[in-house]
């Protein structure tokens, strides 16, 4: 039982570190991540502990733990791959998207809240002309870290 508790605890530490700090372990160029290995170790320890507490033979505990732990690693890695393939990695062109200036915008600084579905947070913005906070704007240029905006004029 101690072996299962130690492996489960080590898996929990690896899982928490991977989630908080980022992937600290990457085996085979993304084939296995620290997160999925942590999940597998936690499941291995949990299954082994449950089987041992119920009085089954130790060899059954090890076999059951290995099988269920490997399945947990595979399922976790599959979910990680699916999540990493979502639109977070997709390039979104924001030119033409409208929004609202949340601060005064100048040539060197500013912030906007855009109306696009993909835009959940505010973006850094700049403009060739001063724009007051609260003004409706439209994105004229999209750069990786900021957007260049101009005042929105419906007649244009």
- Rounded to whole angstroms, how far apart are CA atoms 62 and 43? 12
**What percentage of the chain reaches a pLDDT higher than 90?**
49
User: Whole-number mean pLDDT of the chain?
Assistant: 86
What is the full DSSP assignment across 122-151? -EEEE-SS-B-TT-EEEEEEE-SS-EEEEE
* Least confident stretch, 6-15, 23-32, 60-69: 23-32
**pLDDT digits over 97-137, tens only?**
999 999 999 998 999 999 877 777 788 999 999 999 999 99
Most confident of 12-21, 24-33, 44-53, 136-145: 44-53
The pLDDT value recorded for residue 81 is 79
- pLDDT above 60 (res 89): no
Pairing of strands 26-27, 32-33: antiparallel
**What percentage of the chain reaches a pLDDT higher than 70?**
88
Q: What average pLDDT score do residues 87-91 get?
A: 57
The pTM for the full model equals: 0.54
- pLDDT above 80 (res 91): no
The pLDDT value recorded for residue 80 is 79
């Amino acid at each position: 039982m101690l072996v299962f508790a130690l492996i489960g605890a080590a898996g929990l530490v690896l899982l928490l570190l991977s989630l908080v700090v980022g992937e600290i372990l990457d085996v085979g160029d993304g084939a296995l991540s620290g997160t999925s290995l942590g999940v597998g170790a936690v499941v291995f320890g949990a299954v082994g502990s449950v089987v041992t507490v119920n009085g089954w033979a130790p060899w059954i505990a090890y076999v059951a733990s290995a099988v269920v732990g490997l399945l947990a690693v595979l399922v976790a890695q599959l979910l990680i791959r699916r999540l990493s393939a979502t639109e977070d990695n997709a390039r979104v062109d924001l030119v033409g998207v409208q929004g609202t200036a949340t601060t005064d915008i100048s040539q060197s600084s500013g912030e906007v809240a855009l109306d696009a579905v993909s835009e959940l947070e505010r973006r850094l913005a700049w403009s060739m002309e001063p724009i007051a906070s609260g003004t409706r704007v439209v994105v004229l240029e999209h750069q990786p870290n900021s957007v260049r905006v101009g005042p929105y004029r419906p007649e244009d």
